[in-house]
Structure 1
Amino acid sequence: MNSPEQSTLGKTTSYPDHYDPSQLYPIERASKRAELGLTGALPFFGADLWTAFELSWLNSRGKPQLAIAHFTVPCETPNIIESKSLKLYLGSFSNTQFASADEVRARLRADMSEAVWRGAEQPSTIGVRLLLPDVFDNERVEELAGLSLDRLDVECTEYTPAPHLLRAAAGETPVEETLTSNLLKSNCLVTGQPDWGSIQISYVGPPIDQERLLQYLVSFRNHNEFHEQCVERIFMDVWRHCHPTRLSVYARYTRRGGLDINPLRASHPLALPPNIRNARQ
């Protein structure tokens, strides 16, 4: 199986401009999940919501066309796609003629589905939606709903994941609340480049100590891990240390190379949020 270190991340790369699905580089989820003690059936549901802002191709007369693409990758897929390889793959459409946007959408769905489901006993497909320029005016900017933890004046001293900071008041009446922060920051697993994000944590259960939760989120600041892996780590840490009866963790990361990645993990089936960017994206 491919490893992150063997990918094109951090390496000088030629950028293909003719359709080339071989650029896609899947990376197995299992090894990082094993670090969290996750084997067999997953304890969560969810998906990774990708947005691609740099997608263009040629129509049958050679005129450039463009779109914003939304991809929905179920968390059950055995693989993620390394983001630089996805950028290279999308770039390979730029000088390739397609008869229609529908043909582009079908090609994206087929190629990316094959990559993320590679090795699965029962492969399926991902979701692909293309937004053409005539609907760009409908695109909204919204912040994550919830009570902001960033209002708290806390001292932060730990900058690698510190789950021991998490605490919930086990003896108190359970609450239902949604908490947010714009202070999530981690680093790329391979290159060490900073990844900036906002996060929304919704739960039902014993009241979580909000100051400690904010300190815990800040503790990812020097941590090297991909976006999807960070969200799964946060979900499992809160689940194990705070013992909610229901939990969802949703992060929206700022874009790099025209791509943003927005993972959601939840203890229960729920409708996916609309893929609406926030101000920093």
Structure 2
Amino acid sequence: MKENPYQDSLNSLSLGKSVDYPDCYDPTLLQPVARSLNRIPLGIETTLPFHGEDLWNGYEFSWLNTKGKPLVALLECRVPVTSPNIIESKSFKLYLNSFNQSRFESQDQVLALLQKDLSATAGCEVSVTLNDLASNNLPVVELDGKCIDHLDVEITTYQPDSGLLRSDPEQIIEEKLVSHLLKSNCLITNQPDWGSLYIHYKGPRIDEATLLQYIVSFREHNEFHEQCVERIFCDLMTTCNPTTLSVLARYTRRGGLDINPFRSTCLEQIGNFRLVRQ
């Protein structure tokens, strides 16, 4: 039987399996997934067609000081798209939980461990910050763009189909489009992943009705969050031929973590904020 390296990699993860929830610091809980396993089928091999990052927010992060008193903080982690690996989300949650009953000399020590462990898992340097709850650094905002969810479209496809997309090369425009109807499923557990999608592009006008049909077509699709966004980016680039394109998905949190993958033809870093469902 022909070997499937993608499936072999998934089988090695704790995802979808019954596991203990340790409360003592353990960096071995973190599990990487090679980005190449999904990028190669998309035709992405050596040169990436996008810039960007995976922005994680952790809302349930705590540890003990040397006197045993709990401390809490909001965690922000930015993983570059150039990293060879994504950080598997369940292992990320287990890892963060492992700090709960461990004592540390200072917040700086905790931050240094997070930076070291997460960078080792991603395979490159990631940015990690710990923010005080009183700083209110994550305001609730609305995405800046035209929401297309009101469109009265017929939906018949619930697996990604780039053939649905249409654009008009006679109309060259710049616009920002938003949909809150993005839903895909966890690759192993089949649990729903809910998200809002932001698209900013310049180029042939994208037909809004077909774009909405395409977004909804992910509804029964099983794939990691980061992979869904890269698929959407590649499908829009190939089918609609924009000159510039940015795609941001902000997913609702699970287990105290949300992930917000960003892919763009432009070299920029996204600001951090929360949507009402986050």
Whether the TM-score (by the shorter chain) exceeds 0.5 is yes
In the alignment, is residue 103 of structure 1 matched against residue 140 of structure 2?
no
Match of 2:220 in 1: 222
Instruction: Note if contact 1:5-1:190 (Cα within 8 Å) is conserved in structure 2.
Output: no
In the alignment, is residue 73 of structure 1 matched against residue 79 of structure 2?
yes
The letter of the residue matching 1:77 is S
Instruction: Note if contact 1:47-1:73 (Cα within 8 Å) is conserved in structure 2.
Output: yes
**Alignment partners' CA distance in 2, 1:133 and 1:159:** 40
SS at structure 2 position matched to 1:250: strand
Structure 1 unaligned regions, length at least 5: 118-123
The letter of the residue matching 1:206 is P
Match of 1:60 in 2: 66
SS at structure 1 position matched to 2:92: helix
Instruction: Note if contact 2:25-2:99 (Cα within 8 Å) is conserved in structure 1.
Output: yes
1:4-48 deviations in whole A, cap 9, x for unaligned? 232111211111111100000001010100110111110100000
Q: How many residues align?
A: 272
Match of 1:275 in 2: 272
Deviation at 1:105, TM superposition (A): 1.0
Match of 1:120 in 2: none
Instruction: Note if contact 2:172-2:204 (Cα within 8 Å) is conserved in structure 1.
Output: yes
Match of 1:159 in 2: 158
**Alignment partners' CA distance in 1, 2:36 and 2:138:** 35
Deviation at 1:77, TM superposition (A): 0.3
Match of 2:167 in 1: 168
The letter of the residue matching 1:143 is E
Match of 2:130 in 1: 130
**Alignment partners' CA distance in 2, 1:195 and 1:56:** 25
Match of 1:147 in 2: 146
Q: 2:41 aligns with which of 35, 41, 44?
A: 35
Structure 2 unaligned regions, length at least 5: none
Match of 1:244 in 2: 242
1:49-80 deviations in whole A, cap 9, x for unaligned? 00011110001111000111010000010001
The letter of the residue matching 1:239 is M
In the alignment, is residue 9 of structure 1 matched against residue 6 of structure 2?
no
**Alignment partners' CA distance in 1, 2:134 and 2:107:** 13
RMSD (Å) for aligned C-alpha atoms: 1.1
Q: 1:180 aligns with which of 174, 178, 181?
A: 178
**Alignment partners' CA distance in 2, 1:205 and 1:154:** 24
**Alignment partners' CA distance in 2, 1:25 and 1:163:** 31
**Alignment partners' CA distance in 2, 1:3 and 1:132:** 37
**Alignment partners' CA distance in 2, 1:83 and 1:169:** 39
Instruction: Note if contact 1:231-1:250 (Cα within 8 Å) is conserved in structure 2.
Output: yes
Deviation at 1:97, TM superposition (A): 0.9
SS at structure 1 position matched to 2:206: coil
TM-score, with normalisation over the residues of structure 1? Answer: 0.94
**Alignment partners' CA distance in 2, 1:44 and 1:17:** 38
1:124-148 deviations in whole A, cap 9, x for unaligned? 4101111113324x53111211000
SS at structure 2 position matched to 1:205: strand
